[in-house]
Amino acid sequence: MPSPFPGMDPWLEDPAIFPDLHDSLIFLIKKSLNSQLPAGYYATTKTIVWVTDDQRRDADVSAFTARPRGGVAVAPLPGYVDLGEELDFVEEGYVEVRHKDTDRLVTAVEVLSPANKATGAGRVAYLEKQREFVRGGVHLLEIDLLRGGRHTTAIPPARLGRLAEGRFPYHIALTWQGRPHGVAIRFGDRLPTMAVPLDPGVRPATVDLQAALAEAYEAGSYGRRIDYSKPCTPPLSPDDQAWADGILRARTPTDLHGEK
């Protein structure tokens, strides 16, 4: 069953659902890019890990070694890093487009998470990575489908507000050749098809974000999990709730309470 909403579904922002949606979108964006990238380029998923004391490691070399009772540490296996048993860690994926011959990073695609927009290690790690991309001349596509949290993408909020000419809950920022461009998305707007720039003289790839969202919704069986008769998290304003209610009234009572 597809989402009842023509664009982003605000019920998908729920903390119990969005992490799964985030991972699905990353996978589907990678899949879409690899189906169309020209010869010499490929898309891959990169995972970073941050921990509560702001340490960060690449996921392929991070591990936690067991410590037996008595406090004696077990020697780590070759290639593993002992970060200690007391550290909480978070893994998060994003998409990289690289040039095959040199493995050079050309473009990064990020779907922002709640941790990226909240005060803490996740935001610190994200902003550090964002600066590295921009300073290194890497194109950066940032997709923000979360109403909560602080502004985080590379485009300044004031500039995005001028582009939007009004209130908007979601947006996309594309930093291309060091210059940020923005797309504001209102409730009811179809998510756009975005250019994914490559090298000068090479035609950009594209990603249909609405198609990716629709596929992720179906694959995640969110229609079975979401009870649309209950308020979404975070809650909508009265005007936005009235808009959502108008859409949801077209659904059956069974649909509104989730499929059984």
Q: Domain spans of the chain?
A: 10-61+86-256
The crossing angle, in degrees rounded to 10, of helices 209-219 and 18-34 is 130
Residues of the chain with pLDDT under 70: 52-88, 164-166, 252-260
d(CA 10, CA 142): 18
Burial class (CB in 10 A: 0-12, 13-18, 19+), 172: buried
Per-residue pLDDT at 255: 52
The SS3 assignment for 225 reads helix
Structural tokens at position 125: 């790690």
Per-residue pLDDT at 239: 94
Pick the closest to residue 152 from 126, 170, 174 (CA basis): 126
Other C-beta atoms closer than 10 Å to the C-beta of 213 total: 24
Per-residue pLDDT at 235: 97
Per-residue pLDDT at 81: 57
Contacts of 167 (CB under 8 A, 6+ apart): 186
Per-residue pLDDT at 61: 36
Per-residue pLDDT at 82: 57
Per-residue pLDDT at 73: 45
Tell me the pTM: 0.83
Pick the closest to residue 46 from 87, 135, 119, 106 (CA basis): 106
pLDDT tens digits, residue range 102-126? Answer: 999 999 999 999 999 999 888 999 9
Contacts of 206 (CB under 8 A, 6+ apart): 36, 193, 194, 195, 196
Name the one residue in this structure whose structure tokens are 């229609």.
Answer: 223
Contacts of 184 (CB under 8 A, 6+ apart): 160, 163, 164, 168, 170, 171
DSSP state of 137: T
